[in-house]
Amino acid sequence: MDYMKNYSLEGKVAWVTGASYGIGFAIAKAMAGAGATIVFNDIRQDLVDKGMAAYTEEGIQAHGYVCDVTDEEAVNATVAMIEKEVGVVDILVNNAGIIKRIPMIEMAAKDFRQVIDVDLNAPFIVSKAVIPAMMKKGGGKIINICSMMSEFGRETVSAYAAAKGGLKMLTRNIASEYGEYNIQCNGIGPGYIATPQTAPLREKQADGSRHPFDQFIVSKTPAGRWGEASDLGGPAVFLASAASDFVNGQILYVDGGIQAYIGKQPS
């Protein structure tokens, strides 16, 4: 028996939300490499067009849709189109997300609600939309992109941490409620990944030195570096494949060891 066949995604339809670039794109690229048919969405047509160009450049025949994942009616309509044009969604990756770095006492409630809406309510809405067809088909995989902030707090990210902590528990609840239908729902918790979203934290200072937060993260990570989006591809393929059929309700932290490390003693 070829054990590696357990990791094949041949014949599977994988929908990665917000996957025009960054982490979502890297995960979709890895899944395409494992044989999946890729579906992605973004909130605007120009972003979908940008994503389509990037997939085409990689030799991936992806299917792109404009969809606001916080809009339940739009999500339901998109699921119907995907099922008609591509097929039933076998793998869902709830990747779309935002962050607002604002001190809590300075943050308007509307900004807090927006982060919760995109990072927590949307995964609920999209998961709810695809689960019935997964149940009918006899199984499926849902992967929620959680965060280090699913476990830790940090200055200026109260809304993001609240949303990602909630997403961890939504992951566990979907696993609990629908595991009997052969649906596995797990999360990936990226560590600090070099993406456009984290670019401000890695900018060189005026004197040419590294950003203080950049120095802090590298010193706290046993791997001694920021992660790359491609580092998430293997874990995502594992959680999307038959190799993880008895893994459910877990959060796999891909963080270079940061959660296991107390840090070096000052010299």
Residues with catalytic annotation?
160
d(CA 12, CA 10): 6
Among residues 112, 110, 220, the alpha carbon closest in space to that of 166 is found at 112
Residue 71 structure tokens? 């809009």
φ, ψ at 32 (rounded to 5°) = -60, -40
Q: Three-state SS for 23?
A: helix
Among residues 174, 183, 120, the alpha carbon closest in space to that of 146 is found at 120
How many beta carbons lie within 10 A of that of residue 88, not counting itself? 16
